[in-house]
Every structure is written in structure tokens, then in C-alpha cells.
Amino acid sequence: MATQERSLIIIKPDAIQRNLTGEIIKRFEQKGLKIIGLKMMSLEDAVIEEHYAHIKDKPFFPGIRDFMKACPVIVMAVEGINAVSAIRLIVGPTKAWEANAGTLRGDFSLSTQSNIVHASDGVEAAEAEITRFFKAEELFTYAKIDTDFIYAEHKK
């Protein structure tokens, strides 16, 4: 049986500035993912450095830090069966010029830095990222009436 997973999505400054927020959220909802947390926030240096720890020492990191602070971002925690891989398909590859049409990056970006969204790349990373951006009381548990139709073969 497939497993319920949670994942983090960050709607980046380029998407905010280009008025793509509604379109981005719509695509995840249309797929059947359940939003369990959603908020707009400004990112502080410490959070950016923690989130991008794997590239913090790279020469291009200051540009990424400045980009992520250019305006508020929207962070969203979502849940669903095989959510991480489903989200990665919706988002497309990091190098947006390689992304297929129909993906968020394929439809709206040609960049690596200004590539519309961040999406967790694995289940463990997703849990750490959700904890980084959300307090426990900011995440919600609730039933959705369409669950049986979205996950028909995975009914409990």
C-alpha cells in the first residue's frame, strides 16, 4: 500500500512578483494534494543558510540569499499518498530550461535560481523542511471529502 507523505513547497520571489501564486497552488490542489499549512513570510538569513546549507559555501550563494529575500515567499505544507514524487513531477527539474512543458518550471521559468518554487526532494528532507518553516500548531489535520475519489485504489 502506498504511504501518506508530507512535503514543503516554497513559492519563490519570482513567482510572487509575476502573480503566479494562484496558478501554482491550483496545480497542487488539482493533483489531489491536501494543503495542511500555508503562510506568507519574509526569510531571515539564518533560515536561508540552514535551508541552503548544502550550497552555503558556494560562490553563488550570496545571490541566492539576496534573491530569496527580495520579497516575501509563500510556504506550503502538503500531504498525500506519494506526495514527494507527485510534487517533483508537477514542479519539474531544478534547471528550468530542461523542464517539460506542463510542469511549473517548464511553463514559467528558464532559470536555476528564479525557478518559481522549491519542493522537497525526499521524505526525510520534507519533514526537516516542514519543521523549519512551520510550528506544530500551524499544521492542520482534517478529512477531505474527495479523498475516496482521488485515492480509490488505496482506500483504508
Cα(40)–Cα(73) distance, integer angstroms: 6
In the block, residue with C-alpha cell 496545480: 27
Instruction: Label the pairing between strands 34-41 and 4-11.
Output: unpaired
Three-state SS at 80: strand
Give catalytic status of residue 118 as yes or no.
yes
Look at the chain and count its residues: 156
The full DSSP string for 28-41 is HHHHTPEEEEEEEE
Q: Are 64 and 13 in contact (CB under 8 A)?
A: no
Q: How much helix, strand and coil, in percent to the nearest 5, is found in the chain? A: 45, 20, 35
Cα(40)–Cα(48) distance, integer angstroms: 15
Which residues are known catalytic residues?
118
